[in-house]
Amino acid sequence: MDRIYLDHNATTPVDPDVVEAMLPYLRGGFGNASSVHGFGREAKVALEQAREKIATFIYCESAELYFTSGGTESDNMAVLGVASQSKGKRNHLIVGATEHHAVLEPAEHLEHKEGFKLDLLPVDGDGFSFADDLRRLVTDQTALVSVMHANNETGAVQDIAALTAVTRDKGILFHTDAVQSTGKIKVDVRQLGVDLLSLTGHKIYGPKGTGALFIRKGVKLTPLFYGGSHEKKRRPGTENVAGAVGLAKTLEIAGERMDADYRRLQELSDYFIDHVTTAIPDVFLNGPRRNRIPQTTNFSFAGIEGESIVLSLDIEGIACSAGSACTSGATEPSHVLVAMGKPKVRSQGAIRFSMGRSTTKEQLDYVIAKLGLVVQRLRDLSPLYGKQK
């Protein structure tokens, strides 16, 4: 068996058609999109066409779509940018308890260094937040609420429309991190009712270093950095035209494949979950079976640590992850699982398998078999297994 990649939530291979679409802008079409001359104009046209395609994809206007270097930048731009505008007027922020660090950390920074008050919106055992809880937290000092559309560790998809109904018309802005959802399920900013939305390319078979932020018309934002009039001064810097073209292309492809991919991944993941939980004792699925991005499956194996499983599987040529890809080497429990009320011990033993376009049933059968052996070996070594069932 060749190496098996089951970490699509961390990143995805770039679709060959996307590479093809980008190449002209790395070769002859290399112009700086802000240049007045012909080279620049060609690049600018490509950039604006890409912008239009992406805006259409998420049901917003071109004027509301800003190119960034990716999800983390978009998240920072949204959180820090809105907060900066509100400072001195409204000083309360609400952020989901299971948000990615790219939202949590800027929010924590605002709390510790900029005098904002921060509340976390709780989630239930499946990772869902509810309008009633949000209603309880919202005050007349609330400037921004940020809740992710789909969670990177469990795949849980939040009912964002229900949450934005709470904040609308109260002078509160709502941001959603749609990094894991865009391209996999329908993302419609009007239907969601959000004011800001982050998306990225590399989770959906596009290049790394590309992304965008939707900023609804009328929303004021302080830019993260200064240095030019690009993106209406909201995000200066010579545009990554090839990247933008790639991002547009990959979303276009994703749109065409969305329904079929969704069904296929739903089937594969149901198969995987059913077989893993049958073949291996004392396994827990973290996250919901429905209302989730189907490719994501997150398990806790009683008595053993996630990291040990990941390394052992890696040696067998199987790639997956413990917690999210961004935490390096620390045996901290996943804040997402902790927020879902999972005992600390379960949060440290969690593994995420995330499937993609290349995943086959044959691969999954191989993984299930190897996983069984690895878990058995680690449990035989573990002083904890049997004591914490």
Partner 1 sequence: MSGGVDSSVTALLLKERGCDVVGAHMKLWDYVDVGGDIHRDGRCCGMDSITDCRFVCDKIDAPFYVLNLSDTFRKKVIEDFVAEYAAGRTPNPCVRCNTEVKWDAFLGKADELDCSHIATGHYAIIDQGEDARWRIRKGVDSTRDQSYVLWGLSQSALSRTLMPLGSLLKSEVREIARKHDLRTAEKAESREICFVADDDYRRFLREYASKHELRFHPGKIIHADGRVLGEHEGTEFYTVGQRKGIGIGHATPLYVQRVDPARGQVIVGDDADLYTNELVAEQVNWVSQTPPAPSATFSCEAKIRYLHQPARAVAKVLDADRLHLVFREKQRAITPGQSVVLYDDHTAIAGGVIAK
Contact window for partner 1 (CB under 8 A) among 26-34, 138-146, 242-250, 375-383: 375-383
Please answer whether residues 12 and 205 qualify as being in contact, where contact means their C-beta atoms are separated by less than 8 angstroms. yes
C-beta closer to partner 1: residue 114 or 314: 314
Alpha helix segments (H runs only) across the chain: 16-22, 38-57, 71-86, 101-113, 131-137, 160-167, 189-192, 241-279, 306-315, 335-339, 344-348, 361-381
Q: Whats the size of the chain, residue-wise? A: 389
Amino acid at 50: A
Measure the CA–CA gap between 359 and 361, rounded to whole angstroms.
7
Q: Which is nearer to partner 1, 260 or 315 (CB)?
A: 315
246, 206 in Cβ contact below 8 A?
yes
Nearer to partner 1, 331 or 360 (CB): 331
Q: Which of 63, 325, 326, 381 is catalytic?
A: 326
Which two three-digit tokens encode residue 100? 């990615």
Using rule CB under 8 A, residue 354 touches partner 1: no
Residues near 333 by beta carbon (within 8 Å), at least 6 away in sequence: 344, 347, 348
Among 76, 176, 181, 308, binds partner 1 (CB under 8 A): 308
Question: In degrees to the nearest 10, what's the CA dihedral of 50, 157, 368, 379?
Answer: 130
311 binds partner 1 (CB under 8 A): yes
Q: Answer yes or no whether residue 330 interacts with partner 1 by CB under 8 A.
A: yes
State yes or no: residue 1 binds partner 1 (CB under 8 A): no
Stretch of 6-14, 65-73, 292-300, 308-316 contacting partner 1, by CB under 8 A? 308-316
Name the phi and psi angles at 156, rounded to 5: -60, 130
Active site residue 326: yes
36 counts as binding partner 1 under rule CB under 8 A: no
Write down the least CB distance from residue 105 to partner 1, Å. 16
Question: Contact with partner 1 (CB under 8 A): which of 136, 233, 263, 377?
Answer: 377
Question: Quick check: 312 binds partner 1 (CB under 8 A)?
Answer: yes
Contact range with partner 1 by CB under 8 A, out of 116-124, 140-148, 160-168, 311-319: 311-319
- 255 versus 317: smaller Cβ distance to partner 1: 317
C-alpha closest to that of 195 among 169, 176, 223, 222: 176
Q: What residues act catalytically?
A: 326
